[in-house]
Amino acid sequence: MEPWEEEEGPEVVKRFMYVNRRAPYGTIYALECLEVVLIAAAFDQDVSVVFVDDGVYQLKKDQDTTGIGMKNFSKTYRALDDYDVEKIYVEKESLEKRGLAAADLIIPVEVVTAHNLREIMAQQDVVISS
């Protein structure tokens, strides 16, 4: 390939969805899922990230973990934008049940209803939930 030619994209582009269902601390799932998403972003696939149930707490602003001695990794979610992960969905019902709104979250998200989320989920090739 000549240097002035466009580099070819990947042969296969699949839709990957990462579903976060758990609170950020208490178990390691949230942190390790974020690590997967950041790696996955490098693969030129169609990546989306979902936060449902207690998973919505992962994006809560002003987290303070000093009392539990764990690393506060919430600011890392801000890097998703730098990695071109732009499809970030938060389930409306999960937010409301917990008295939260989009304004309480550390990054801009798309708030979707459970019904809409179900449709988006059905369009995916790979769904990895944790």
Compute the distance between CA of residue 48 and CA of residue 46 in angstroms, rounded to an integer: 7
42 exposure class (CB count in 10 Å sphere: 0-12, 13-18, 19+): exposed
- Kindly write out the interface string for residues 42-81 of this chain, putting x where it contacts other proteins by CB under 8 A and - elsewhere: xx-x------------------------------------
For residue 103, the minimal CB distance to other proteins (Å) is: 31
- The most distant pair of C-alpha atoms in the chain lies apart, rounded to whole Å, by 57
The count of residues interacting with other proteins (CB under 8 A) is 20
The contact set with other proteins (CB under 8 A) reads 10, 12, 14, 16, 28-29, 32, 35-36, 39-40, 42-43, 45, 125-130
